[in-house]
């Protein structure tokens, strides 16, 4: 599994403090060419916010044909279902979501 941390359509680096010139599309193509079979894609701007996932980001990632685990902003079952409809294999739930489940 490769991890792609994305903000404004570009790959985040150095603990999300900088953005590289590598676009999401470029990163997806590089991963596909390298034989990556699964991606952990984090929407940096949504991570920890419980504002809902960046569905456009995950739509593009899922269209790559590589299995996608979505992270960032997931707040409820409806978000998980939306991600599943886009083709995401799984979603990462943060502390807020898990607290709502009593965990």
Burial class (CB in 10 A: 0-12, 13-18, 19+), 87: middle
Residue 102: predicted pLDDT: 74
pTM of the model: 0.90
- CA distance linking residue 37 with residue 33, whole number of Å: 10
> DSSP letter at 11?
E
In tens, the pLDDT along 35-83 reads 999 999 999 999 988 899 999 999 999 999 999 999 999 988 899 999 9
Question: Nearest CA to 78 among 64, 62, 97, 60?
Answer: 97
Query: What is the residue whose two structure tokens read 């965990």?
Result: 103
Q: Please, what CATH class does the domain formed by 2-100 belong to?
A: alpha beta
Percent of the chain with pLDDT over 90: 81
Listed by start position, the domains of the chain span 2-100
Say what angle helices 55-62 and 24-34 make with each other, to 10 degrees.
30
Query: What is the residue whose two structure tokens read 């999401």?
Result: 24
96 pLDDT tier (thresholds 50, 70, 90): low
């Amino acid at each position: 599994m490769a991890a792609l941390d994305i903000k404004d359509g570009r790959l985040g680096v150095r603990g999300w403090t900088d953005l590289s010139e590598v676009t999401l599309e470029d990163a997806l193509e590089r991963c596909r060419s390298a034989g990556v079979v699964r991606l952990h894609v984090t929407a940096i701007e949504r991570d920890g916010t419980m504002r809902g996932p960046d569905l456009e980001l995950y739509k593009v990632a899922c269209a790559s044909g590589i299995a996608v685990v979505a992270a960032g902003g997931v707040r409820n079952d409806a978000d998980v279902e939306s991600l599943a409809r886009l083709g995401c294999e799984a979603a990462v739930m943060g502390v807020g979501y898990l607290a709502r489940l009593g965990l």
